[in-house]
């Protein structure tokens, strides 16, 4: 068969751009659909055609099947690619696409249905000889029966909604006495999220690893795997960093696991890209007899770039070729692993406030060079409240795992995003964490290390050093314009009062400072962004001073009177010195009762704005 001639992408943002990129390389005409909120998004411009499908809310645009089909018919689209999310695993939509005579670039509707319900999927896998997590899957949903089954399995157990996903409708139960309340809570959440309150029960695995296998099938009865990924680094059941291959996976275990994944795909006559997800008890290392089937995702995964990196294959191209009726591009013996790849999900969220989403304009959005970036937005764009807040996927590839981790940490640390808050610093610290580098990981890794991974709201010492150094005039040797204090016939004062994060900090300059960049009044360092500047004149002029006792020059001028010295005991409002500037005199006063810890002001000295002139310590 000939390659499909035109393709409508029933999705948005990063995955739409990703699909467009490959389709154009293959000479396929691309068609985007977009909502009101996405009219100016890059994917709309990059497609050959674009069709408006409604308001910003997904339920009124991207999730309306009739609008997608109407757009496809109006543009004579030969095929529809659903991407991931939205309608990608909707069997009725897939059937409607096929009924309209349009090629569906996705899993067969029968496979979507077979894998869509966790309980039915597990029963099917058991029949196919695929090992599943010990547990209960059944029609009897009476609380007493479920409670009894949990007792047979042994605590702790995990209650999971059969129609669940994304961590919704899931509860861990430590003891029998907690089961009934946890079950009721899980059922309520499942009913609200999925319209189905049925649950299954699984043995809770201590120290679990989340490992998944990329599978691919075609319409000629062939199926292969493209090896495994490790997605254990999660926060509230949401993946944060993925990698391929899985650390600690020996060849024998890999062969057994991947063979099982292919068996699962063949059992449902699978076509296209899919992922078989497993849970592993890695308490004694990865072993084939301690890895169990969890679920199948019947679509392309967000983390597919790491598989592409280690195999050298374009999975979207494979999808399009298979959808066009071709056989899988390579045999199993032609596929091999090359090096190590990692992917971090850059989100518009604020780790310091419990990872709450952050929306707004992207006045600055700069990515490091030399690595793969899959992003749906660009500088000058906006993060809206209507969709998933992922800004980009940061993907690194290197010969070894430590090298891939180092590249990922450096890349995340070099990200520049403003004014939207992001998790870049959190990602950089995670990738640089010693336990992560040592592959001492499981799904509880982030929770255990949260204190080290999540920065506080106050700037760290490296941030303060970078801000102080950034305020120094580049290459200046003129003592009159320096921002540090000048002492005649004495060593220079190396302190600068910096306004950052809403407060003033007196920073003693050190010779070495971490890498940073600036843009206007924003400092970018270690993946974080900070608004900074010289301490304002309000901290000194007219008797006002920084709450920490720093007395700063409100403007450039000459010191015409000195009324204090280091070691003096002073009272609030007591005159310390007088500055002449713009033919006016400014009296600088003590902000509170205390002791003059530092006094750098010299009679007749010319000073610049923002220079620290005195530091008062409160009396004990």
- For the chain, what percent of residues have pLDDT higher than 90? 70
pLDDT tens for 579-607 read 876 556 778 888 889 999 989 889 988 88
Structure-token pair, residue 358:
């952050």
Q: Is the peptide bond before 410 cis (omega within 30 degrees of 0)?
A: no
Q: Would you tell me the crossing angle of helices 315-323 and 13-25 to the nearest 10 degrees? A: 70
Distance CA 357, CA 420 (A): 9
Check: CB of residue 12 under 8 Å from CB of residue 52.
no
The correct CATH number of 6-105 out of 3.40.50.20, 3.40.630.30, 3.40.50.2000, 3.30.200.20 is: 3.40.50.20
Q: What is the mean pLDDT of residues 14-24?
A: 98
Structure confidence at residue 536 (pLDDT) = 55
Evaluate if residue 564 carries a pLDDT over 90: yes
Distance CA 468, CA 490 (A): 22
More reliable by pLDDT, 538 or 235:
235
Residue 33, classified by CB atoms within 10 Å of its CB into exposed (0-12), middle (13-18) or buried (19+), is buried
Structure confidence at residue 540 (pLDDT) = 35
Q: Confidence class of residue 542 from pLDDT cuts 50, 70 and 90?
A: very low
Structure confidence at residue 297 (pLDDT) = 93
Q: What is the mean pLDDT of residues 355-377?
A: 94
| Of residues 602, 597, 566, 596, the one with CA closest to residue 490 | 602
Active-site option among 29, 198, 299, 401: 299
Q: What is the mean pLDDT of residues 540-556?
A: 59
Handedness of CA 309, 239, 323, 330 (dihedral sign): positive
Distance CA 513, CA 565 (A): 32
pTM over 0.85: no
Distance CA 182, CA 178 (A): 6
Q: What is the mean pLDDT of residues 282-294?
A: 90
Handedness of CA 570, 572, 578, 579 (dihedral sign): positive
Q: Kindly report the average pLDDT of the chain as a whole number.
A: 90
User: Among 11-15, 59-63, 91-95, 195-199, whose mean pLDDT is lowest?
Assistant: 195-199
Distance CA 548, CA 566 (A): 17
pLDDT tens for 71-84 read 999 999 999 999 99
Residues 6+ apart with CB under 8 A from 132: 122, 125, 126, 292, 293
Structure confidence at residue 609 (pLDDT) = 67
Q: In the CATH scheme, what is the code of domain 134-203?
A: 3.30.1490.20
Q: Is the peptide bond before 431 cis (omega within 30 degrees of 0)?
A: no
Task: Name the residue ranges covered by the structural domains of the chain.
Answer: 6-105, 134-203, 208-453, 458-620
Structure-token pair, residue 440:
């001492």
Highest mean pLDDT among 115-124, 155-164, 322-331: 322-331
Structure confidence at residue 417 (pLDDT) = 97
Superfamily of domain 208-453 in the CATH hierarchy:
ATP-grasp fold, B domain (3.30.470.20)
Q: What is the domain class of 458-620 according to CATH?
A: mainly beta
Question: Is 299 a known active-site residue?
Answer: yes
């Amino acid at each position: 068969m000939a390659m499909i001639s035109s393709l409508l992408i029933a999705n948005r943002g990063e995955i739409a751009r990703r699909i467009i990129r490959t389709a154009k390389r293959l000479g396929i005409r691309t068609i985007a659909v977009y909502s009101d909120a996405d009219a100016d998004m890059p994917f709309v411009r990059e497609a050959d055609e674009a069709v408006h499908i409604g308001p910003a809310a997904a339920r009124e645009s991207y999730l309306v099947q009739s609008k997608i089909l109407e757009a496809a018919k109006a543009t004579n689209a030969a095929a529809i690619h659903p991407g991931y999310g939205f309608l990608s695993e909707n069997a009725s939509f897939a059937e409607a696409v096929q009924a309209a005579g349009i090629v569906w670039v996705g899993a067969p509707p029968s496979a979507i249905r077979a894998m869509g319900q966790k309980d039915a999927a597990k029963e099917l896998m058991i029949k196919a000889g695929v090992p599943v997590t010990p547990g209960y899957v059944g029609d009897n949903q009476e609380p007493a029966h479920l409670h009894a089954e949990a007792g047979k399995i042994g605590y702790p157990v995990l209650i999971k909604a059969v129609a669940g996903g994304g961590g919704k409708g899931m509860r861990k139960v430590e003891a029998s006495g907690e089961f009934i309340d946890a079950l009721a809570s899980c059922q309520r959440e499942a009913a609200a999220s999925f319209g189905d309150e049925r649950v299954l029960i699984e043995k809770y695995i201590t120290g679990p690893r989340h490992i998944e296998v990329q599978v691919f099938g075609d319409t000629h009865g062939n199926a292969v795997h493209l090896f495994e990924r490790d997605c254990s680094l999660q926060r509230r059941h949401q993946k944060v960093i993925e990698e391929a291959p899985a650390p600690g996976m020996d060849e024998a275990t890999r062969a057994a696991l991947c063979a099982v994944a292919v068996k699962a795909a063949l059992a449902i006559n699978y076509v296209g890209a899919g992922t078989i997800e497993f849970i592993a008890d890695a308490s004694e290392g990865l072993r084939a007899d301690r890895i169990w089937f969890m679920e199948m995702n019947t679509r392309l995964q967000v983390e597919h770039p790491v598989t592409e990196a280690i195999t050298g294959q374009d999975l979207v191209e494979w999808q399009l070729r298979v959808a066009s009726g071709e056989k899988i591009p390579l045999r199993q013996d032609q596929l091999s692993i090359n090096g190590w790849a990692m992917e971090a999900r850059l989100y518009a969220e604020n780790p310091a406030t419990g990872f709450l989403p952050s929306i707004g304009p992207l006045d600055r959005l700069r990515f490091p060079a030399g690595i793969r970036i899959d992003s749906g937005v660009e500088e000058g764009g906006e993060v809206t409240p209507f969709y998933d807040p992922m800004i980009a996927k940061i993907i690194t590839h290197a010969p070894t795992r430590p090298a891939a981790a180092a590249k990922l940490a450096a890349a995340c640390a070099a990200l520049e995003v403003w004014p939207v808050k992001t998790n870049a610093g959190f990602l950089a610290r995670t990738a640089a964490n010693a336990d992560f580098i040592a592959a001492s990981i499981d799904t509880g890794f982030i929770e255990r290390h949260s204190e080290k991974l999540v920065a506080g709201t106050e700037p760290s010492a490296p941030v303060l050093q970078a801000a102080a150094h950034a305020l120094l005039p580049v290459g200046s040797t003129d003592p009159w314009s320096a921002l540090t204090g000048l002492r005649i016939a004495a060593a220079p004062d190396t302190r600068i009062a910096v306004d950052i994060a809403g407060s003033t900090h007196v920073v003693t300059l050190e010779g070495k400072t971490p890498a940073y960049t600036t843009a206007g009044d924003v400092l970018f360092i270690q993946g974080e962004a900070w608004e900074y500047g010289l301490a304002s004149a309000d901290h000194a002029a007219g008797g006002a001073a920084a709450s920490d006792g720093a007395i700063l020059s409100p403007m450039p001028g000459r010191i015409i009177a000195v009324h204090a010295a280091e070691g003096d005991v002073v009272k609030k409002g007591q005159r310390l010195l007088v500055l002449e500037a713009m033919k006016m005199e400014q009296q600088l006063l003590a902000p509170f009762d205390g002791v003059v810890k530092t006094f750098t002001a010299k009679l007749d000295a010319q000073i610049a704005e923002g220079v620290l002139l005195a530091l008062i310590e409160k009396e004990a």
